[in-house]
Amino acid sequence: MPYFSTPVPELALQQSGSFTKFETVVHKNYKICRVAAEQIQAEFNKAMNTDIITNTVATVPGLGLVHFLAFTIPNCLPERLVALVRFAEFTLLNDDFYDIAKNEEINKINADIQSVLATETESRTAESLSNMTKSKQLQASLILDMINIDSELAMDIMTTYSKGLELATFPPDTLKTLEDYLPVRMVNSGLDVFQTMSCFGMGITLTPSEKARLADLVDTAMFSTTMINDIHSWPKEVKHHIEHPGSEYPFNAVAVLMRHQGCSEAQAVRLLREKQASLQEQHLELLRRLGPLPEHQMLYVLAAQYAASGSEFWSIHVPRYPSKEDLNQPEVEFVDGVFRYKHNSGPATTTLFQIGRETTKSTKVGVVEINVLPCPAPTTSSSASSPRIAILESEPEIAIQDVSNMANGDDDILVEAVAHVNANGDGKSSLNGETFGLAFNQPAASRSYSSGSCTSLDTDVACTDEIIMAPYRYLTSMPSKGIRDLFITALNWWLQVPEAELLAIKDVISYLHQSSLMLDDIEDNSQLRRGQPATHIVYGLGQTINSANYIFVQAFSRMQALCAANSSTLGMFIEEVENLHKGQSYDLFWKDHVECPSVDEYLMMIDQKTGGLFRLCVRLMEALATREIPEASSKDFVRQLSRYFQIRDDYQNLMSDQYAKEKGFAEDLDEGKISLPLIYTLQSSPNRDAIARVFKRRDAGQMMGIEMKKFIIGEMRKAGALDRTYRLLRSMQDDMMDELRRLERVFGAPNASLELVLRKMWID
């Protein structure tokens, strides 16, 4: 494989003062990167009506203007360079855009108040939503450019990117050492995404086992990149923090060492330099021990090295990260939980602020809220203490080791806390008719389990929804692709439904979907949902059914907002909910009677059951759209999408390892579900009677044996049912793309977000 990098001139490297132990190189076609970055910056600013300059191009002696990607992914294939630069530059533009938005939050609140007083009707939130939609459209178009080059590696970028977004973006206070901090920061800063971007750029694919073998080696290099990024971004980050009282502590290793290790600013930077050198030496030693590597693995390792050396060389020259000298910044110190400029250490104005820890924080625990008293921020690791929960009437405090778990709804911790109080005789338990001794934020009348305080039969005690909502909240806490929500957002690029109505539509669809999932799992005797125990397995049949019915009522309640805007929406809701239940009746009937429908009958069922929610989305949005809707119907597109969605699920349930992990191997067979591959098999297999007998003798609620599942899937293969289903899905993908292009012509605008939603579902 050809290499496209060339060493940075030695003189430029020496003059830079770079500390790296890795070779520093630059892409031979680095000028292309700068042009591509300038183009996407202009497109973004035009679309978002902004004037953001990312400052990602550095002036390098002997080279001129160079974009950071030319240093950090210097072996990118030339034909992939533009697409990769555009995507990387967009992520920085988007970050800068939302950083600006955060800075303007106070001004926005004031402006909103003024607009209300002046009876202005313009909605700034709607404007923000519009900007978000524009941003997503632009991002989707950039991702599609990469998918068209290499769909597999582009999807790897998307998957890694999505996983990174699921992690908390704020620095947890539990990260008190570099060993704890580095793995979290590597993901938070997007370096894991950057490694997948490098693979895309170079066109190399590693198996999971290959990546696992090289993980320690690559991580040491990437950790050193984290050190480099934190050192160079620190002056800018701490400046912003000091100038914005109440902002979060910088998510930076310098801050970690100053806060938890008692280091001065200079000591922290020196320790990070030493850590950088140590990590890079460790990396090189691990590489020597591994011995010769295949070329694609060596390129993968070099990519991690170049991310470090390139980041350092670029950071030294780029205006995006000004040094303390550039900012004329005094020394920073950390005193009494406060980052501030040190007195008499320089010409800059000293700015002091308190983080806002004087006020009591409210932490939710299960169904109640507990007041967490503020603790002084420690200046050294030895003085760190756990948050504590206050007891009423000067009762002793209960040390809780992990309040973050309580915030996530860990009921076990709450039980332990109450047990601790009772064991010491210091607290009261609502379980014996008394109220808790904890400082609840909720008024006594609204506490979920408080009954002892009721002294009169005439007293009204408020009934909360905590119990009835628990199964629903359990279900929605599970990981989900959120296809329907993405579909609504993408479709709104064309239809432009007002924000309030759009949110109501999303709620209606979500409530109906979650309600149907709870009931479907009961009706299908499903044990798993998205890799976790199904809701009724955890909460029982009665509680789950009651919750599902309550959630359905919530969907109907949200329809009030839509009916106020357009009264015809209620009829649409009723009609499609009826269709959904009619479709489900056929599905259940065929399963219970082991009756094989025709393909046309099966498609009819899909159109009603699966198509109902998709159709309701579109009908509600079209009824509430603020732009004129073309006469050309979207009915065909919705029908194709619904059928593809269900048939793909049928196929993946039998063939996908990921589905097996989340739902169990061939779970549809456990449920006795009649799927399209099974219909094809029963229509043509010489052993169809034996297959039918297996389903008829199946015990409801019992899992089918592995050997029996293998027998049925084997018969599907012999009958050509799986291949036939696969070919149908591929054909449907082409048909949907044709229909999407037709709609784009009708609406007069491409819809990259909608295309990306579709491509996320594609089977290869």
Q: What is the pLDDT of residue 623?
A: 94
What CA–CA distance (Å, rounded) separates 465 from 549? 13
Q: What is the pLDDT of residue 2?
A: 63
Taking a C-beta distance cutoff of 8 angstroms, is the pair 276, 34 a contact? no
Looking at per-residue confidence, does 686 or 164 come out higher?
A: 686
Q: What is the mean pLDDT of residues 76-102?
A: 86
**N-to-C CA span, the chain:** 26
CATH of domain 470-761: 1.10.600.10
Q: How many residues does the chain have?
A: 764
Q: Taking Cα atoms as reference points, which of 57, 46, 310 lies closest to residue 197?
A: 310
| pLDDT, tens only, 386-443 | 333 232 233 333 333 333 333 344 444 333 333 333 333 443 333 333 333 333 344 4
Whether residue 129 is predicted with pLDDT greater than 60 in this model: the reply is no
Q: What is the pLDDT of residue 234?
A: 96
Taking a C-beta distance cutoff of 8 angstroms, is the pair 687, 715 a contact? yes
Homologous superfamily (CATH) of 5-327 is Farnesyl Diphosphate Synthase (1.10.600.10)
Ramachandran assignment for 425, one of left (phi > 0), alpha (psi -120 to 50 degrees), beta (any other): left
Output the CA torsion sign for 406, 407, 408, 411.
positive
Q: What is the pLDDT of residue 478?
A: 84
Where in the chain do CATH 1.10.600.10 domains reside? 5-327, 470-761
Q: What is the pLDDT of residue 225?
A: 95
Question: What does the angle CA 645 – CA 161 – CA 493 come to, to the nearest 5 degrees?
Answer: 55
* Assigned token pair, 158: 């998307």
Q: Using 50, 70 and 90 to split pLDDT, how confident is the model at 35? A: very high
Task: Report residue 326 CA to chain centroid gap.
Answer: 36
75 exposed, middle or buried (CB, 10 Å; 0-12, 13-18, 19+)?
A: buried
| pLDDT, tens only, 137-163 | 888 899 999 999 998 999 888 888 777
Lowest average pLDDT, out of 358-367, 516-525, 550-559, 593-602, goes to 358-367
In the block, tokens 């949200």 appear at 558
Q: What is the pLDDT of residue 388?
A: 30
**Helix 30-48 vs helix 124-149: angle between axes, to the nearest 10 degrees?**
150
391, β-bridge pairs: 395, 438
What CA–CA distance (Å, rounded) separates 480 from 489? 16
Q: What is the pLDDT of residue 702?
A: 67
Taking a C-beta distance cutoff of 8 angstroms, is the pair 20, 280 a contact? yes
Q: What is the pLDDT of residue 431?
A: 33
Confidence (pTM): 0.68
Taking a C-beta distance cutoff of 8 angstroms, is the pair 87, 146 a contact? yes
Looking at per-residue confidence, does 131 or 10 come out higher?
A: 10
Task: Report residue 419 CA to chain centroid gap.
Answer: 36
Whether residue 11 is predicted with pLDDT greater than 70 in this model: the reply is yes
Counting Cα atoms < 13 Å in the Cβ hemisphere of 515 gives 22
Task: Report residue 65 CA to chain centroid gap.
Answer: 35
| pLDDT, tens only, 674-690 | 999 999 999 988 988 88
Whether residue 90 is predicted with pLDDT greater than 80 in this model: the reply is yes
Q: What is the pLDDT of residue 172?
A: 62
Q: What is the pLDDT of residue 102?
A: 57
Q: Taking Cα atoms as reference points, which of 311, 310, 188 lies closest to residue 253?
A: 188
Residue 589's SS3 state is helix
Looking at per-residue confidence, does 606 or 62 come out higher?
A: 606
Whether residue 276 is predicted with pLDDT greater than 60 in this model: the reply is yes
Which percentage of the chain shows pLDDT scores above 70? 78
Looking at per-residue confidence, does 292 or 403 come out higher?
A: 292
What does the DSSP assignment read for 342-364?
PTTSSSSPP-----S-SSPEEEE
* Assigned token pair, 245: 């009282």
Question: What does the angle CA 187 – CA 189 – CA 195 come to, to the nearest 5 degrees?
Answer: 65
DSSP H or E run through 371:
strand 368-373
Q: Using 50, 70 and 90 to split pLDDT, how confident is the model at 657? A: confident
What CA–CA distance (Å, rounded) separates 563 from 565? 5
What CA–CA distance (Å, rounded) separates 170 from 153? 29
Whether residue 118 is predicted with pLDDT greater than 70 in this model: the reply is no
Looking at per-residue confidence, does 316 or 404 come out higher?
A: 316
Lowest average pLDDT, out of 91-100, 272-281, 392-401, goes to 392-401
Among 557-561, 633-637, 666-670, name the most confident range.
557-561
Q: What does the CA dihedral 105, 109, 115, 120 come to, rounded to 10 degrees?
A: 60
Whether residue 116 is predicted with pLDDT greater than 80 in this model: the reply is no
| CA distances, 728 to each of 34, 191, 635, 667, 675 (Å) | 44, 39, 20, 22, 14
| pLDDT, tens only, 364-401 | 333 333 333 333 333 333 333 333 323 223 333 333 33
Q: What is the pLDDT of residue 639?
A: 94
| pLDDT, tens only, 590-627 | 988 888 999 999 999 999 999 999 999 999 999 999 98
Q: What is the pLDDT of residue 428?
A: 34
What CA–CA distance (Å, rounded) separates 362 from 173? 17
Contacts of 34 by beta carbon, 8 Å cutoff, 6+ apart: 57, 65, 66, 67
| φ, ψ for residue 543, nearest 5 deg | -65, -40
Q: Taking Cα atoms as reference points, which of 393, 668, 618, 666 lies closest to residue 488?
A: 618
Q: What is the pLDDT of residue 660?
A: 74
What CA–CA distance (Å, rounded) separates 529 from 206? 31
Q: What is the pLDDT of residue 103?
A: 52
Whether residue 492 is predicted with pLDDT greater than 80 in this model: the reply is yes
Q: What is the pLDDT of residue 525?
A: 81
Question: What does the angle CA 391 – CA 397 – CA 402 come to, to the nearest 5 degrees?
Answer: 110
Q: What is the pLDDT of residue 205?
A: 95
DSSP H or E run through 574:
helix 569-593
Q: What is the pLDDT of residue 128?
A: 47
Q: Taking Cα atoms as reference points, which of 62, 60, 68, 74 lies closest to residue 28?
A: 74
Looking at per-residue confidence, does 495 or 662 come out higher?
A: 495
